[in-house]
Structure 1
C-alpha cells in the first residue's frame, strides 16, 4: 500500500496543503516548526483516527477555523481509494470513502494502514500504562476494525458505572455525617442491584477487548524480540507480558503509573521471544508458558474471561464503593516490557529504551505484514524526526530495516540526519506548504 496524494485543509498550521507522493522513500526536510510533523500526523490519523501528539481534536484545527479536512488517495494492489476525515472539535468526526456519503469516522478503520515512529514513543517504555494500552488498542482497531465498537461500548459502560459508584460514595458520606438514624437500607439495595446490571455489561465488553489484547500480545512476542535484536547486538531478550487487574496483577491504587507486581501470579501472557533464553543463560520458568506460572487468563474463551471479570468485580465492590471508581478491568491493565529478567522501565539505558520503543513499532509492522491478505497491503512506514534521536549505529540499522518497505515517509530538520541507506526523494517543507522541487535543504538553513 502507498499514498499517492495528501490534501490538508485547515489542519494545524495549514490553510491548504497538497502533496503528491510515490512508492519508495520520501523525506520531508525543513526547519523545526514549519509543519513537517503536521503532514505525517494527518496521514497517521487516517489509519488510527487519533493523533500521536495530542489527545483532543481542538489543537488539530487551524486557529479560527471550525473544522479540518484530511483527504488522501491510496493505492492498494490494483485498487485505488480516497479517504476523507472531517475533524469537528466538540462534535462527532465524520468520514467519507471515495467521496461518498458521510460516515462515522470509525468506518474508515482498516482501510489505510500506517506504522508511525516518533519521539513520543519513548513513553511506551518510560511512561504510564495508559500509553501501552493505547498502543495495543490502536493496533487492534487497525487489524480488527469492529473492535472500535467494543472499545466504545466498554468506555460508555465504564463511564456510567463510575458515575454510579461516585454517587453511591457521596451518599455514603452524607449518611455517615447525618448519623445512623438517617440510613436508608433500600437505597443501598438499589445501588447494589443497579451495579449488578452494569457489572454484566462491563464484563461482556471488557472480556471481548481483553481476549483480543491477549491474542495480540501473543502475536507481537516473537516479532518484538526479533526486532530488538535487529536494532541491537542481540545480547538481551525483549519480552512483553500482559498484566491483568482482573487477576490482581496491577495494584488497585488510583495512579495511572501502576507498576508490576512483586509476584507473577497475575501474568497473563509471557511472550517469550521465539524460545530464546535470557542473556545470562538461565531459563525463565514462565518464559515458555502462556499461563505465567500456571495461572492467568491464557487459553480462556470470551465467556470464561467474562466470568472471571464478574468475579473480580464482585470481590472489588467494597473497595470500589469506598473510592467511587472501577478498580478492575482492561482500563487498568498494563503491558510490562522486559529486557532479560529486568523491567525495561527504570532499568534500561537511554539507548536500550529507544531500541525497545522502536522494536515495539517494528513488531506492529511485522504483525500487519503477517495479517496482509491482499497483494500490496503492506503498511506505510512513517518516521517522524526519529533519526535525530539515534546514534549512528542505530540510525543505520533502522534505515536498513525500513528501506525495504513499499513506502516510507521521513521527516528531518537537516539532510545530515538521514542515513545514506535511505536515499529517496527529498521534499522541502516551508511555512504554509511544500516546495515542488526535490531539492536538499540549503546550507544556510542547516543545523
Structure 2
C-alpha cells in the first residue's frame, strides 16, 4: 500500500504516557477521553516525527514525564510511498533531541523528506487576531511541508541576523563589519520569501475549484509594520544597507522576512479574517489545512499526516461529517482528538478508535473495536 501513514507508534516516558503503543493501518485515528487524560500528548508525539519543536514548541526537558525525569522516546514505523522507515527521536535528561532514521543518526530536517505532518490545535484559534509571529510560524510550517529546506534557510537567516543585531547593539558603525552578514541575510532571505510566495500560490490553486464545505481563504504577505517587504536578494541587500542607521538606533534589524505578516480574507464575503466570527475563523483555518493536504498530495505523492486537536468540538454535525469525508477522500491518516466517541460517529469503521484514560497518574490507551 502506498501513501503516508504510521503503522506503529511507541511512546516512552512522554508527557503523561509512561508507555504506550498504537498499532495502526493507515485509516484516520479517532482518540477520545476526558480532558487531561493525555490525548493531545499523542498528537504531540507524532509531531516530533517532523523537524522542529513539535506542536507545543516545547523544549526537550519539558516533554519528559514527571516525576521520573528519565528522558523520553518516540518511535514509529512509517510507511512512506511504498517504503517502510523506522524512526526514533529521543532526548536524555539535559540533552538536546536526537533523531535516527533506519538506525542511523540523522538531522531533523531529514524527517521532512520522508514524512509530511501538518497540524491544527486550539492555540491557533486566535491566529488572525493575535500577533504577526504566530501567523508567520503558521505559514512557515506550511512552507516547510512543501520544502523541508525552508527550515535550513530560516535558521541560516536568523543566525546571521543575530550576529548583525549584536553589531547594532554594540553601535558598530564600520560598514565592513556588516557586508558579509547582510549578503548572507539577503541570499537566505530571498530564498525564504520565494518559498513563502510559492507556498501561497500552491494553497490558492488547491482551494480553487475544490469541492469543499469550508470557505476559501485568500492569503497575502505584507510587512507587520505596513512598511516595505523586499523579497529579492538585490532588494534585501539594498534595504539592509540603507536601513542600517535606523537599525542602529533600534538596536535590531527592522526590515526583512522576519517582519512579514500573513493576511487572510474570507474570499466569498471579502471580509478580513480578523473581522470574521470565531466559527468562520476556525472554518478558514480548516480550509487552509485541507488545502495544504490537497497540494501535498499532488507534490509529494501522498497526503500528509494530519494532527487535528479538538477540531470536532467546534463544528456542527454537517461540517464535522464534511471534514471526515474530505480526510478520507484524501486517503490521509489524521489523528483527531475529542472528549467523547460521539464526536467521531460519522467516521464509523473508516477510522481506528482509541480511548485514553488516566489511571493512577498515567495515561492508558485502549483501542475500541
TM-score normalised to structure 1 length: 0.74
The answer as to 2:213 corresponding to 1:231 is: yes
Query: What CA deviation, in whole Å up to 9, does each residue of 1:412-436 have, x standing for no partner?
Result: 1111222414543321112234444
RMSD, aligned α-carbons? 2.4
Bigger mean CA offset, 2-11 vs 83-92: 83-92
The CA deviation at 1:88 is 5.3
1:48 and 1:394 map into 2 onto residues whose CA distance is 31
3-state SS of 2:114 partner: coil
Picking from 146, 150, 155, the partner of 1:152 is 155
3-state SS of 1:328 partner: coil
The aligned residue for residue 336 of structure 1 is 263
The answer as to 2:176 corresponding to 1:193 is: yes
Q: Which consecutive unaligned segments of at least 5 residues does structure 1 have?
A: 169-186, 252-260, 269-295, 298-304, 440-447
Q: Which has the higher strand share?
A: 2
Q: How does 1:294-333 map to 2 (within 5 A)?
A: 305-333=232-260
Is the 1:403–1:422 contact (alpha carbons within 8 Å) kept by the matching residues of 2? no
The aligned residue for residue 220 of structure 2 is 241
Q: How does 1:28-39 map to 2 (within 5 A)?
A: 28-39=31-42
The CA deviation at 1:74 is 1.0
Shift in alpha-carbon separation, 1:388–1:104, aligned structure 2, 3 A: same
Is the 1:219–1:367 contact (alpha carbons within 8 Å) kept by the matching residues of 2? yes
Is the 2:80–2:114 contact (alpha carbons within 8 Å) kept by the matching residues of 1? no
The answer as to 2:150 corresponding to 1:221 is: no
Is the 1:47–1:111 contact (alpha carbons within 8 Å) kept by the matching residues of 2? no
Picking from 100, 103, 119, the partner of 1:99 is 103
Is the 2:32–2:355 contact (alpha carbons within 8 Å) kept by the matching residues of 1? yes
The CA deviation at 1:225 is 5.5
1:403 and 1:353 map into 2 onto residues whose CA distance is 23
Is the 1:95–1:107 contact (alpha carbons within 8 Å) kept by the matching residues of 2? no
The CA deviation at 1:5 is 0.6
3-state SS of 1:47 partner: coil
2:93 and 2:169 map into 1 onto residues whose CA distance is 28
Q: How does 1:34-433 map to 2 (within 5 A)?
A: 34-63=37-66, 64-87=68-91, 91-100=95-104, 102-168=105-171, 188=173, 190=174, 192-224=175-207, 230-232=212-214, 238-243=217-222, 245=223, 250-251=224-225, 261=226, 305-340=232-267, 341-345=270-274, 347-373=275-301, 377-404=302-329, 405-423=331-349, 424-431=351-358, 432-433=362-363
2:367 and 2:122 map into 1 onto residues whose CA distance is 28
2:58 and 2:256 map into 1 onto residues whose CA distance is 22
The CA deviation at 1:351 is 1.4
Bigger mean CA offset, 314-323 vs 218-227: 218-227
Count of equivalent residues = 358
Query: What CA deviation, in whole Å up to 9, does each residue of 1:382-406 have, x standing for no partner?
Result: 3221101222332222122112224
1:40 and 1:384 map into 2 onto residues whose CA distance is 8
1:152 and 1:430 map into 2 onto residues whose CA distance is 39
The CA deviation at 1:203 is 0.9
Shift in alpha-carbon separation, 1:9–1:142, aligned structure 2, 3 A: same
2:356 and 2:18 map into 1 onto residues whose CA distance is 14
